[in-house]
Structure 1
Amino acid sequence: MNREELKEKYGKKRIPHEWRKTDWFTTLVVTFFGSGMSPKAPGTMGSLTAAIVAYPMAVLASHLFNGKESLSLPLHISKTQSEFPINLFFLIAALFVFFAAIPFVKKAMKDTGTEDPGWIVIDEVCGIFMALAFFPTDIIVAHPWFLAIAFGLFRFFDILKPLGIHKMEKLPGAWGVMADDLLGGVYSGILLWLSAVGIYALSFS
């Protein structure tokens, strides 16, 4: 056998992944720097990568805005007034990812002839950032384990798709790919905030 025949018979064969059919920059965006290329649970890997990246983002926001990146809104719970935080930094990040990703997701699906393939995980990134839009940056920096809670809550909503999330998938094309995770992020963020309030209340009870 010559070298080519040996390579064909014993060489490591390249798996013909669908994402190879689109350009490298689109692949980089929709797989979130390759995290979606994981052979197992790409959505989980994309969400985990986004949660990890969120920590240095929170640290950066804390230094740049000096704790002023959140807007607190009054909220009445059981006849008592509390503060509901809107983290403007992560809200803007989530919305930026949402709208910026639409043309890339659309192109990736068109080039590969797929509909919402698992390796497209930029929607999970949008969802994680949206979940953190309901949580103060200073708490994320001081207690990064809340990122694990955000990750777990988001994966719950992303997998089961309750409360109208599944309906968002039916939006046309890339909009449906992105919108269901954005809504999942909203639900996750609300539960994340309620979890923090509960933990805080128990610690001082």
Structure 2
Amino acid sequence: MNKEELKEKYGKKRVPHQWRGTDFISAQICTFFGSGMSPKAPGTMGSLAAAIVAYPMALLFSKCPCLDISIPLGNLTINFAFLAAALIVFFAAIPFVKKAMNDTQTEDPGWIVIDEVCGIFMTFAFVSSSALLAAPWLLAIGFGLFRFFDILKPLGIHKFEAFPGAWGVMADDLLGGVYAGILMGVIAAITF
């Protein structure tokens, strides 16, 4: 066999990925800096990356009193820094998600994981930064709760996917984050 025949028979075939069909900035934002490029479970990888990033964010928020604004609401706590982060990601990502979907001619592809990032940040908006720092295992609980709501889409979450275009991609995860966050807040209230 010559070199070309060997390459064709045993060579690793390069499978084009859809995210290559959009510009670099949109790809980086939509895949949350590559975590959505995982060939297996990109949504889980994007959620995991966001949960990992949430810890240094909580550390930063706790060090800056102007950012660490948590208000008790009954037994729950609203962490305005994570709430703001979730809403900023939500609205800032819409044009990039829209462009990426238009460029690649896809509807809510798995490699777009910025919606999972938004949902994870919303999950932690119901827990104070000090609670996340005191009990880092809450990050794992929040990750698991969010993935539950993101995958199964109970309690009307699936209806939010029907919103047009990028709004539907982002909105269902934001609502999933709200539900996961309420449960996180209850767990944190019981723990602390």
TM class by smaller structure = over 0.9
TM-score (norm 1): 0.88
Q: Percent of aligned pairs with the same residue?
A: 70
- Quick check: which has more Rg, 1 or 2? 1
Q: Give the structure 2 partner of residue 155 of structure 1.
A: 147
TM-score (norm 2): 0.93
Q: Contact 1:140–1:147 at 8 Å: present in 2 too?
A: yes
1:76-103, Cα deviation, whole Å (9 max, x unpaired):
xxxxxx4x31101000000000000000
Amino acid at match of 1:154: F
Amino acid at match of 2:29: V
Gaps of 5+ in 1: 76-81, 201-205
Give the secondary structure class of the aligned counterpart of 1:133.
Answer: helix
In 1: Cα distance, 2:62 partner to 2:149 partner: 28
Q: Contact 2:37–2:111 at 8 Å: present in 1 too?
A: yes
Give the secondary structure class of the aligned counterpart of 1:13.
Answer: coil
Q: Give the structure 1 partner of residue 126 of structure 2.
A: 134
Per the TM alignment, residue 142 of structure 1 is displaced from its structure 2 partner at its CA by 1.4
Gaps of 5+ in 2: none
In 2: Cα distance, 1:110 partner to 1:140 partner: 38
Runs of 4+ in 1 over 6 A off after TM superposition: 1-5
Amino acid at match of 2:157: I
Give the secondary structure class of the aligned counterpart of 1:130.
Answer: helix
Change (3 A) 1:172 1:67: closer
When the two structures are aligned, how many residues end up with a matched partner?
Answer: 192
Change (3 A) 1:105 1:66: closer
1:102-154, Cα deviation, whole Å (9 max, x unpaired):
00100111010100000000000000000100100001111111000000000
Give the secondary structure class of the aligned counterpart of 2:133.
Answer: helix
In 1: Cα distance, 2:80 partner to 2:127 partner: 10
Change (3 A) 1:44 1:145: same
Q: Give the structure 1 partner of residue 14 of structure 2.
A: 14
In 2: Cα distance, 1:68 partner to 1:158 partner: 27
Q: Give the structure 2 partner of residue 85 of structure 1.
A: 77
